[in-house]
Amino acid sequence: MHVLQTVPPANVNRGADGAPKAAFYGGARRPRVSSQAWKRSTRIAFALLGVDPQLLGTRTAAVAEHLAEAIAQRTSLDADKASRLAVALISKLGVSGKKEKSGGKKDEAEATEEKAKSEATAYLLFYGVRQIDNIVDLIADRAEELAGLSDAKLAAELKGTDVQAAIRDGHPIDVALFGRMIADNKGLSVDAACQVAHALATHAAEEEEDYYVAIDDRRPKEESGAGMIGRIGFNSATLYRYAAVSLHQLEENLADTKTAIEAVTAFVNGFVRSMPTGYINAFAHQTMPQLVAITVRDTQPVNLVTAFEKPVTAFAGSGYAEPSARALATEHTTIRDLWGVQALWSGITHGFTDQKTRDQLDGAFGTAVPFPALVGALAAELAK
């Protein structure tokens, strides 16, 4: 996927110093948005675009707390018994972190609830709602019996319960796409089926600064000055965004071809229509792309960022988007003809009206179609 998108003055993705992220490329400093930021926004977009919540994942260290809620909802156990059982089950994943020391004496219910909250996994664990339900299935019919056992007997009783299998199978689409790495238990890791590049401006751009003041509405009229002052760094840019999805890896992760194709179309929609939300209330930078091009290959993915190694220059009020589109088309055609890297299928959506630009894009990616038609044509091609 190749996306050109112009973002107005904004601080979409800031670094530790609060300034918009940037990178040097082709000898020029350019605005940048990290891949992590856009992957997170894509995940959030899945639900907003109507993907079934049961097909989506959750990333948290509070897995025991989530499992306890599911156990209590499914069984007759109260909250403290469900929490105790959840902690015992999650411990079998082998990813528990260090337990924090608690101060003061607490009654049994408080101690059990605190234990579930403090039994955080060593990392943020990425898993699906259905996988939590799978774990509950393992003990639902004997939950009351298990809850009445001592810690030692409970551990012994759960010894043969394969909690890890419940997490290894039935992945949600976002885990299948973005993967899961568990350093301490590689059997729970999932190879990612997609790669997302850092979004990078096609041109050079400098950071600017917004100096602002806030007025105290109740300050007496005779007093002057601001109630607060501050500064926010920002920039604006035409960004090149790139992502690749390995269909065979996605099919392996989801164990179903139809679901894999549905996951691809969900990713395409989510990636194209999402936007990281850094300072979004201050800048309202929600734009739509000016161009989305998609290729299907059976050899290797090709990132076309090399089209912009020489920074694009805006001529005579042309802006950056249109010359960026022409540079993208030229690079795609050059790679195809020079290196023999042919695409099995390609399609494009764009709104450029200049005939020269349209001819170049048509020659590189085919005749432009509306975005819903592009996604439909992609799904049909993948189904072959």
Mean pLDDT of 325-334: 97
**CA pair distance 14, 20, nearest whole angstrom:** 4
pLDDT at 206 over 80: yes
**CA pair distance 227, 140, nearest whole angstrom:** 57
**CA pair distance 86, 104, nearest whole angstrom:** 24
pLDDT digits over 96-154, tens only? 655 444 455 555 555 555 555 556 676 788 999 899 999 999 999 999 999 999 989 99
pLDDT confidence of residue 228: 87
- Work out the pLDDT band at 350, boundaries 50, 70, 90: very high
Q: Are 323 and 315 in contact (CB under 8 A)?
A: yes
pLDDT confidence of residue 178: 96
Cα separations in angstroms, 46 against 39, 53, 197, 261, 369 = 11, 9, 19, 15, 23
Cβ-based neighbour number of residue 20 at 10 Å: 25
pLDDT digits over 49-101, tens only? 999 888 899 998 899 999 999 999 999 899 999 999 999 998 888 776 554 44
Beta bridge partners of residue 237, listed in sequence order = 7
**CA pair distance 384, 370, nearest whole angstrom:** 22
pLDDT confidence of residue 182: 85
pLDDT confidence of residue 106: 55
Q: Extract the tokens encoding 63.
A: 């897995």
pLDDT confidence of residue 96: 66
pLDDT confidence of residue 288: 97
pLDDT digits over 5-47, tens only? 999 999 999 999 989 999 999 999 999 999 999 999 999 999 9
DSSP for 176-235, written as a single string: HHH-B--TT-GGG-B--SEEEPPEEESS----EEEEEEE--TTS-TT--S-SEEEEEEEE
First to last CA, the chain: 19
Share of the chain above pLDDT 90, in %: 72
pLDDT confidence of residue 108: 55
Q: Which of 101-110, 211-220, 371-380 has the highest mean pLDDT?
A: 371-380
Three-state secondary structure call for residue 359: helix
- Work out the pLDDT band at 304, boundaries 50, 70, 90: very high
Q: Extract the tokens encoding 274.
A: 């999402």
- Work out the pLDDT band at 314, boundaries 50, 70, 90: confident
Residues 115-126 as b/e (b if ≥16 CB within 10 A, e otherwise) read: bbebbbbeeebb
Residue with tokens 């020659």: 363
Residue with tokens 């020079």: 338
**CA pair distance 230, 237, nearest whole angstrom:** 23
Q: Are 127 and 55 in contact (CB under 8 A)?
A: no
pLDDT confidence of residue 22: 95
- Enclosing H/E stretch for 287: none
Mean pLDDT across the chain: 90
pLDDT confidence of residue 224: 79
Share of the chain above pLDDT 70, in %: 93
Three-state secondary structure call for residue 355: helix
Q: Are 23 and 204 in contact (CB under 8 A)?
A: no
